[in-house]
Structure 1
Amino acid sequence: MQSPMNRLMMALLLSLAGPLAAAPRLEVAPAAEVLQGEPQTLALSGATPGERLTLRLSRRATLPGIGPALLRAEALFEADAQGRIDPERQAPLSGSYAGVDGRGLFWSALPVRGEPQGVPAADAPAGQLLLEALGRDAEGAPHRVAELNLRWLPAEPLVQGRNVASLPGARLVWPKNAAAALPVVIVLGGSEGGSSTAVHMAEALAARGLAALALPYYSPPRWGAQGPMAPELPALPTSFAHIELGLLETARNWLREQPEVDASRIALWGASKGGEFVLAGASRIAGFKGVVAVVPSDVIWEGFDMQRGAMGQPSFSWQGKPLHFVPYQGYAEEVAGFMSGQPVLLRRPHDAGRASHAEAAAAARIEVEKIAAPVLLIAGSDDQVWDSGGMARSVAARRASAGLKTELMVFEGAGHGITSLGGTPTALNNAGPMKLGGQPAADARAQQQGWARTISFLREVLR
């Protein structure tokens, strides 16, 4: 039988066991591993109420124009009365971002120099992220109290595909587990040219159960670490002028011969100049089930060349005939900023050209009233490449007047860089000389919500 003293000591030890066992624990939902582009929420439990802890998120990525980089964001929080830290409902006291934002640690990351402690290993799987909780010891030095590995799974291992010999740079992709012919989305990138955007977005769609045809249509000279480089796809136009809208018809006809797809169900997705392309093409070519235009235009614009500048020719043609277009004004002066180091805001020559050429703008208007299929428009109110928010509203208004099914998503405070799936933090959208506009938090919100609606919209129109 235990003595009264032994019973007292046992009770004391049991009373201390609870607090000692309740170490801080990091949490992620819906899972630690998700397909890239799917949202994750972060939280911490088990802290002492009122305790201040820093949440830090680190990952490696390859950044355009920079190359491989270590990205990191962190924010200091105070645990609530239940010992929880929840960025979905709590603002940080300080850190990489401000305000209540459950995605803040993802979009606010910036490159860091060297190899500080607490980073994903150089040989870690692609898309791995390290989440840490840091406290302070008695001397005030930071120390790790919890850690958790996350991962963004790439789409590529989930899909299969093949190149299209008759369409330079084009690639058809579909899910590896497909058991029947699938509806298909034709995917077009923007003025960056080449295949990277189209292929990346096509694979993302295929990983979510659709077939997709990545369709490059323009491939300018590139710039590498050693200077000028040849175009990625030399068989394609190197200047953005007289791009033939009939390429969509050619692609549609090719898809009709492919056993992997159901060519009676084809939709279009295009971003930036690709958004201009899909709206202009669908207004002339019937049979598409839906159109997604991200940061789009409502008119045909003047063409351009990376070396020669504005060309005095239209960006697009139809059946070999040039289309009416809106000229730029002040284009050469604006792009001179790439050499002088001044910020480049391409919206200025777009807006000035439109204001000075009202008749040309009226003639160049895309006849979106002729698109019978549903249209989803996604844009930002602070786009500094061109006024995608205003132009998307114009498209929606004219289609509404015609009684056509149209959905408009204009994100307040967002810019032009809202088409990616989070691979590059939106905190870097305006880091280079070319300014895309937008606030990082607004851009991140537009990316997440716009992508989610894109997937659901395409499933609706292609079912």
Structure 2
Amino acid sequence: MVETTRPFHLAGTGPVGVLVLSGSSGRVERDRCDLLAAAGATAASYRWFGETVDLVPLESFDEPLARLHERCERLVVLGTSRGAEAALLLGARHPEIDLVVGVSPSDVVWAALSTDRPQRSSFTSGGEPLPFVPYDDDWTPATDPPEHVGMYRSALDRFADRVPAARIPVERIAGDVVLTAGGDDRLWPSTELAVRVEARRAAAGLPTTVLTHPAAGHRVVLPGEPRPPSSHLVHGGTPAADAELGAALWARLLAEVTAGGPRA
């Protein structure tokens, strides 16, 4: 389905195709794909970047999206964190995408996940780096282990002049947009970023569904899905709240899987 040597997983044969993109872990989301397949979808996931999220060509998603769309009547992209950043960019680039789902999304393109300096973009288009918001290298964490949400807020303030150019053009997304964000997200301020996506689309006359939970963190857990592996990053939230937010998202995904026919 996709010409890549990277790990890849495909499950199901249903009429709704879901491309599932992990966050910066690069994990192939096998459990999530299998859950969607059991509900009646065709779901695919692969490691969508190399060593890290660094100058990833948006064109690299074209082939897996096209192959998935060949099999299915409807096309969904479901991304988490940096994968949600990618999903929103793809929604703006591909009008054939019927639904973009962003778990803990961002409304801007961030710098590459690299210690190299000078900083560079996470994504490219047509061989050119996309405008991005740099990280604040002068930020000092107040906790150990660090809660990076403060660094992202600091970067947005410090580099406010770069934010407008780095905004993901969510107004160009022709399909529906569903976002989930936890009020206790301690990795980045996903609730604030999701609200910005919603406001900009509303100004363009476009609807956006934002699902939130005040006690949820950066990662949601869908019903029947195991909790994600432990990480050195602080994600916030509680197991119960993460599961409640995941249940709300799952209800929306089930409605999509059972929807008939492509978007009008």
Give the alignment's TM-score, normalised by structure 1: 0.52
Gap change, CA 1:301 and 1:449, over 3 Å in 2:
same
Indicate the residue corresponding to 1:205 in structure 2: 36
Q: Structure 1: which amino acid aligns with 2:128?
A: K
User: Is the counterpart of residue 217 in structure 1 residue 217 in structure 2?
Assistant: no
Instruction: Give 5+ residue unaligned stretches, structure 2.
Output: none
How far 1:443 sits from its partner (Å)?
A: 2.2
Distance 1:185 1:331 in 2: 39
What amino acid does structure 2 have at the position aligned with 1:415?
Answer: G
Q: Distance in 2 between matches of 1:291 and 1:272?
A: 13
The Cα of 1:433 is off from its aligned counterpart by 5.0
What residue is the counterpart of 2:88 in the other structure? 279
Percent of residue pairs bearing the same amino acid type: 31
Looking at secondary structure, tell me which structure has more helix per residue.
Answer: 2
On the 8 A contact 1:303/1:312 being kept in 2, the answer is yes
> What secondary structure, in the 3-state scheme, does the structure 1 residue paired with 2:145 have?
coil
Greater strand share, structure number:
1
- Give the Å deviation of 1:167: 6.2
TM-aligned CA distance change 1:391 to 1:440, over 3 Å: same
Report the 3-state secondary structure (helix = DSSP H, G, I; strand = E; otherwise coil) of the residue aligned with 1:212.
Answer: strand
Q: Confirm whether residue 456 of structure 1 aligns to residue 261 of structure 2.
A: no
Task: Decide which of 151, 173, 190 is 1:349's aligned counterpart.
Answer: 151
Q: Look up the match of 1:319.
A: 126
RMSD: 2.6
Amino acid at match of 1:243: V
The structure with the largest alpha-carbon Rg is 1
Distance in 2 (alpha carbons) for counterparts of 1:462 and 1:365: 32
Conservation of the 8 A alpha-carbon contact between 1:310 and 1:332:
no
Q: In structure 2, what is the Cα distance between the partners aligned to 1:461 and 1:275?
A: 25
Distance in 2 between the 1:310 and 1:442 partners?
38
Distance 1:194 1:434, change over 3 A: closer
Deviations 1:216-266 (A, max 9, x none): 212xxxxxxxxxxxxxxxxxx213210112222221223355xxx22x421
Change (3 A) 1:391 1:256: closer
Contact 1:378–1:409 (8 Å) recurs in 2? yes
Among candidates 244, 252, 258, match of residue 57 of structure 2: 244
1-structure distance, mates of 2:261, 2:147:
37
What code does the residue aligned with 1:252 have? L
Aligned runs of 1:8-407 on 2, under 5 Å? 164-166=2-4, 168-175=6-13, 182-195=15-28, 198-218=29-49, 237-256=50-69, 261-262=71-72, 264-305=73-114, 308=115, 312-330=119-137, 334=141, 342-407=144-209
Contact 2:18 2:41 in 1 (8 A): yes
Q: Which runs of 5+ in 1 are unaligned?
A: 1-162, 176-180, 219-236
Q: What code does the residue aligned with 1:378 have? A: T
1:424 lines up with 2:222 in the alignment: no
Aligned pairs, number: 261
What TM-score do you get using the length of structure 2 for normalisation? Answer: 0.88
Report the CA distance shift for 1:332/1:275 in structure 2 as closer, same or farther (over 3 A).
Answer: same
Q: Distance in 2 between matches of 1:439 and 1:213?
A: 28
Query: CA–CA distance in 2 between the matches of 1:327 and 1:374?
Result: 29
- Whole-angstrom CA distance in 2 between matches of 1:314 and 1:250: 22
Cα–Cα, structure 1 residues 389 and 290, in superposed 2: closer, same or farther, change >3 Å? same
Change (3 A) 1:256 1:414: closer
1:438 maps to a residue whose letter is: G
